[in-house]
Amino acid sequence: MPNVVVGLILAALGLTGLVNWWWSFQEILRGLFPLAMLTVGVLAMTAGFRKIPLADAGVALAELSPLERMFRKEDWWAVWLGLTLVLFALGTYTTHGEFLKALSVNPGGLKWREFGQLTQHFADNMGLYVLQYGMWSLFFGVATRVMGIRFWDFLSGFTFLYVLSVIIFAVGGWAKAAQFNLEPPLVALIVGLVLANTVRIPDWLDSAFRVEFFVKFGIVLLGATFPITLVMTAGPVAIGQATFISLLGCLTIYFTATRWFGLDRRLAAVISVGGSVCGVSATMAIAAAVGATKDHIYASVTLVVGWALVMILFLPFVSQALGLHPGVAGAWIGTSEFADAAGFAAAASYGKMAGNEDAALKSFTLMKVIGRDLWIGIWAMVWALVATTMWEKKDGDTVRSRIDPGEIWRRFPKFVFGFFVASLIVTIATSGYSPEEIKSTVKPALLDPIGALRGWAFIFCFLSIGLTTRFRDLHAVNRGTFSAFSIGVIINVIAGFILSVYVFGDYWARI
């Protein structure tokens, strides 16, 4: 009986309190709701992660469903993460624009003259850097874990990468950095190369050096600052120029390799697309079609990496010596460089040297991503047709491969969707603003912060290029292979220069 009495009193008091303090009750509920969602979300993710097999669990990928296989591809993750960030930016820039700007904090624009200014900047913004580090870790850590990489391995490597990136941006933010050509992309590449080839970097740190993942994510963010109208108007010129150069380079390398140097045609095929379409990625795209061996891939890796590094260092300085417009230089780099990551490093470096990074990146992207990457699946299909219809089978070859038009879709670089969608939604969302409003509101509150976040993604990429390039891991190639590839590269560079500077120079300068 006493229990009932006490219970009644407490219930009556509780009800009275609830009615009188209804507002406070609502506030608590409102505050607890996101916290509960966050907790449940983290717990669900943690539980879910444990069930996702790691790469070394020996999973047969053929057993996975198409949806599960999608989650194992970095292209799709670049699309999802990039678009998430773009939508978040679009949803908050008018009401919480300061938060977005704060999230994209970067010491690169400081123009500091005394070391004290730099330390003061970090002291004032330490919380923002921690928040930003947390965001990147969560974004990339979740994605790579689902792809099968151990989370803690990734996080250790990424922490190292992030700290190095902060230092490199800080160097780039020095008032006299431009005077000494200390552009962050070049510094990142060189620091990475020196570290990778002088210090023994533990293998587990390697998990975070995902060159391609970072560049694809950066390209999706680049789409947000790229008006779709520009893609539509400049795309055909870029595709025409890039297709001509790709065909010229591919045929030159293939026929030089087979006719002059008598190389195996499978080797000739993989180095010809490597040197003219999209580096090692193109090589991997056609490797199965032509039945390449591991040594063929090694040759392509050595040649692509070697020449890509030479051109990252060569093209920006030659462009500077010739005083090329950044848009023109970007187009030239886009026709000359064969790997996206290396090309972005060269284009971003020259853009910073010339004080117009935007133009260099835009024309490079049109030429490389729209003009060349988009068509990798078709190249793979063409080589598969050549190999199956024109090359005779070797005696005793029991391997039976099947080709079908689905190959074009399977090998399509899906991150390009993210680029187009980001471009489209930002163009539509900002179409109601006048040019003055774009300049005064949209640019500083939306486009600049997205551009700064893209800058982080690219620095992670450029550092990763250096940190993964261990010259001792590259395999030697014979003189014929080197010569055939180099002839193709030189012809591409010359033809690309003529087209970008003399034929379409005015066009690229207006980008």
Partner 1 sequence: MTDERPRDCGHCRHFIDDPQDLEAEVEGLKILSSAFGSVRADTGWCKRWDRFCTARTTCDAYSPRTAEIL
Note the helical H segments in 256-278. Answer: 265-273
Look up residue 405 and give its DSSP letter: T
Site for partner 1 in 317-376 (CB under 8 A): 339, 341-342, 376
Among 1, 19, 61, 123, binds partner 1 (CB under 8 A): 61
CB nearer partner 1, residue 177 or residue 376 = 376
Among 95, 179, 198, 398, binds partner 1 (CB under 8 A): 398
Can you tell me which residue has the tokens 């009615």? 19
Residue 285 in the binding site for partner 1 (CB under 8 A): yes
Q: Which helix (H) or strand (E) holds 261?
A: none
* Span near partner 1 by CB under 8 A; candidates 57-65, 87-95, 350-358, 359-367: 57-65
DSSP string, 112-146: BSSHHHHHHHHHHHHHHHHHHHHHHHHHHHHHHHH
Q: How far is CA 349 from the centre of its chain?
A: 16
* Span near partner 1 by CB under 8 A; candidates 108-116, 404-412, 476-484, 499-507: 404-412
Amino acid, res. 205? L
174 by DSSP, 3-state: which? strand
Among 291, 438, 486, 490, binds partner 1 (CB under 8 A): 291
CB nearer partner 1, residue 164 or residue 287 = 287
Residue 465 in the binding site for partner 1 (CB under 8 A): yes
CA distance 379 to 386: 11
Look up residue 186 and give its DSSP letter: H
Residue 394 in the binding site for partner 1 (CB under 8 A): no
Longest CA–CA span in the chain (Å) reads 105
CB nearer partner 1, residue 96 or residue 414 = 414
At closest approach, how far in Å is the CB of 92 from partner 1?
30
* Span near partner 1 by CB under 8 A; candidates 66-74, 83-91, 220-228, 441-449: 66-74
Residue 314 in the binding site for partner 1 (CB under 8 A): no
Note the helical H segments in 71-210. Answer: 74-92, 97-103, 115-147, 151-172, 184-198
CA distance 509 to 491: 23
What is the CA angle 397-401-406, rounded to 5? 165
Look up residue 73 and give its DSSP letter: -
The residues facing 112 across adjacent strands are 174
Residue 228 in the binding site for partner 1 (CB under 8 A): no
Among 85, 100, 253, 287, binds partner 1 (CB under 8 A): 287
Among 166, 301, 421, 447, binds partner 1 (CB under 8 A): 301
Map residues 80-99 to x or -, x wherever contact with partner 1 holds by CB under 8 A: --------------------
* Span near partner 1 by CB under 8 A; candidates 15-23, 241-249, 412-420, 484-492: 412-420
CA distance 146 to 507: 43
Residue 393 in the binding site for partner 1 (CB under 8 A): no
* Span near partner 1 by CB under 8 A; candidates 227-235, 361-369, 424-432, 464-472: 464-472
CA distance 424 to 428: 6
* Span near partner 1 by CB under 8 A; candidates 2-10, 212-220, 422-430, 499-507: 212-220
CA distance 282 to 78: 19
Q: How many CB atoms lie within 10 A of CB 250?
A: 24
CA distance 342 to 302: 14
Map residues 475-494 to x or -, x wherever contact with partner 1 holds by CB under 8 A: x-------------------
Among 30, 50, 200, 400, binds partner 1 (CB under 8 A): 400
At closest approach, how far in Å is the CB of 168 from partner 1?
19
**Rg (alpha carbons) of the chain, rounded to whole number:** 26
List residues near partner 1 by CB under 8 A.
53, 55-56, 58-64, 72-76, 147-149, 209-213, 216, 278-285, 287-288, 291-294, 297-298, 301-302, 304-305, 308, 339, 341-342, 376-377, 380, 398-402, 407, 410-415, 465, 468-469, 473-475
